[in-house]
Amino acid sequence: MVCLDESYSMDPFFYDGTVQEIVDRVLAWSASVDADAWCRLAGLLNSHVWHGDVDLTNVNNVVATNGWSPWGGTNLADSLKAILDMVKDMGDAWQENPILLFIVTDGMPQNQALVKQYIQELLSILSLSRFCGLGMTLVPRLFVEDLDNMVGGRLVDNVEAPDDGLRKGWSDDKFNAAMI
């Protein structure tokens, strides 16, 4: 599952092609390690938006093809709640095909305490969760580091993530090293 930050601060990354390239690569990478080779794509804005399912037949240029563009705020808590509700509705079905969650963002989410709470609830379900940062400035990087270093257990594994975020134009080897 990929949550794409479509808040207005992402504007430069949408328009220079970074979002398109990173989302294409994250979706393709996710499909390559996922048993059923498809991924649900969500937008996080002022509220959660399900964009639909992406597989290897429709992954290329999915952002541009659908005309998604930035607006609004970074309400990650709303998206995490929707994901949690979806997983609960699945019953035990998620156990046959574990869920991978990638959050493509450039910023600090609103309501950080609630974001942490939902991530903690999802920990027993998710096989992998990773923040895929774009142009990570100090403030959002500190939030991700806080998730990596929380007392009582790490919430996300971004230890190997580059300090300044994922970049457009990276080699496959460099991108893959940042993802695992």
Highest mean pLDDT among 20-24, 77-81, 131-135, 155-159: 77-81
Q: What is the pTM of this model?
A: 0.81
Q: How confident is the model at residue 35 (pLDDT cuts 50, 70, 90)?
A: confident
HSE-CB at 72 with a 13 A cutoff on CA atoms is 17
C-alpha to C-alpha distance for 170 and 95, rounded to whole angstroms: 34
CATH 3.40.50.410 corresponds to the domain 2-179: yes
DSSP code string of the chain: -EEEE-SGGGHHHHHTTHHHHHHHHHHHHHHHHSTT-EEEEEEESSSEEEEEEEETTT-TTHHHHHT----S---HHHHHHHHHHHHHHHTTGGGTS-EEEEEEESSPPSSHHHHHHHHHHHTTTEEEEEEEEBS--HHHHHHHHHHHT-TTS-SS--TTS-TT-B-TT--HHHHHHHH-
Largest CA distance in the chain: 42
According to DSSP, the β-strands at 126-133 and 99-105 are parallel
DSSP β-bridge partners for residue 3: 42, 103
CA dist 83 and 23 (Å) reads 18
Condensed to tens digits (0 to 9), the pLDDT of residues 76-128 reads 899 989 988 988 888 777 677 667 788 888 777 888 889 888 887 887 677 66
Structure confidence at residue 180 (pLDDT): 64
Domain map (residue ranges) of the chain: 2-179
